[in-house]
Amino acid sequence: MMEWRPPGYKLSTKDLIHAIFDANSDAGKLLVKATLGEVELFAAAKSWNAVLWLIANTLKVDGASVYSGKQLVELKACLPIVWRSD
């Protein structure tokens, strides 16, 4: 029996950043489609480090990070992305 799967796309680190921070970008539109189950997204596990760096270094209030480590773990877990350790 053949299992149905939506079309898959692999996001580069740059695309991943655009997907998360720019909903109007092509990658951002793919992220929305992934939440609806219309596509499947893949990204290298190391790409998440770039997202963490960007959040930790740009999203601050009075010099302190806006998000805790726990919140960042929860963010990663809720993204509709299959993380690959390629």
**SS3 letters across 20-52:** HHCCCCHHHHHHHHHHCCCCEEEEECCHHHHHH
Are the C-beta atoms of residues 16 and 50 closer than 8 Å to each other? yes
Q: Domain coordinates of the chain in residue numbers?
A: 8-84
Residues 12-38: pLDDT tens digits?
999 999 999 999 999 999 999 999 999
**19's tokens:** 């997907």
Percentage of the chain exceeding pLDDT 90: 80
Global pTM reads 0.85
The 8-class DSSP code of residue 75 comes to H
